[in-house]
Structure 1
Amino acid sequence: MIVVTFAAILFAAWLLDRAAAVPVLAAIKAYQIALSPLVGGACRFRPTCSAYMYSAVSRYGVVIGCLLGVFRVARCQPLCRGGFDPP
């Protein structure tokens, strides 16, 4: 009989989230290197939206980090005041 504890399930979920973060972080870094210089300094916030999303995914995992990043990009528009907004 195999006994799976709740801690083992949480650890497996954490490990899966960390593994999923690697390609997401690589995609964000590729955007920062290849496309961001072409767009110019359009972000109204510091850190920039891509740096914010990179930090959020690193800190909170793929699901929460991507949600935070999407909400941040949605706020990055002319009607928003902008400024310093850490993740």
Structure 2
Amino acid sequence: MIARFWAVIDFPFKWAAYILIQAYRYTLSAFVGRNCRHLPTCSEFTRDAILKHGFWPGGWMGAARIWRCRPRGTHGYDPVPDALPDRALWYLPWRYGRWR
């Protein structure tokens, strides 16, 4: 019951984030430059994480991924995880992402 409630609440946020990310990818991304160090790109990763895991966990996963894309950060193939981390809780949102 509670899972269905959260799915209904999450739906508009999830699709609003999807639309904003797609708008960024097809407009501003061309001006910022297409030189992401990861595959899939940070915007694709964030979009897929939000669609797969929901707005709150997926958004934090995307924020962690953007943080890792800084100078001296990580690079290479980094897909969206299939499952949420075991230690992740909604009130400890930084645990959703890998920050190193």
Same fold (TM > 0.5): yes
Tell me how far apart the structure 2 counterparts of residues 21 and 81 of structure 1 sit (CA, whole Å): 27
RMSD: 1.0
Mapping for residues 2-81 of structure 1, pairs under 5 Å: 7=1, 9-81=2-74
TM-score of the pair, normalised by structure 1: 0.85
CA positional deviation for 1:19: 2.3
Where structure 1 has 5 or more consecutive residues not aligned to the other structure, the ranges are 1-6
Identical-residue share of aligned pairs (%): 32
15-24 vs 47-56, which moves further: 15-24
**Which has the higher Rg, Structure 1 or Structure 2?**
1
4+ aligned runs moved over 6 Å, structure 1: none
Matched positions, count: 80
SS at match of 2:27: helix
TM-score of the pair, normalised by structure 2: 0.75
Q: Which has the higher contact order (CA 8 A, sep 6+)?
A: 1
Q: What is residue 77 of structure 2 aligned with on the other side?
A: 84
Where structure 2 has 5 or more consecutive residues not aligned to the other structure, the ranges are 81-100
Tell me how far apart the structure 2 counterparts of residues 30 and 19 of structure 1 sit (CA, whole Å): 16
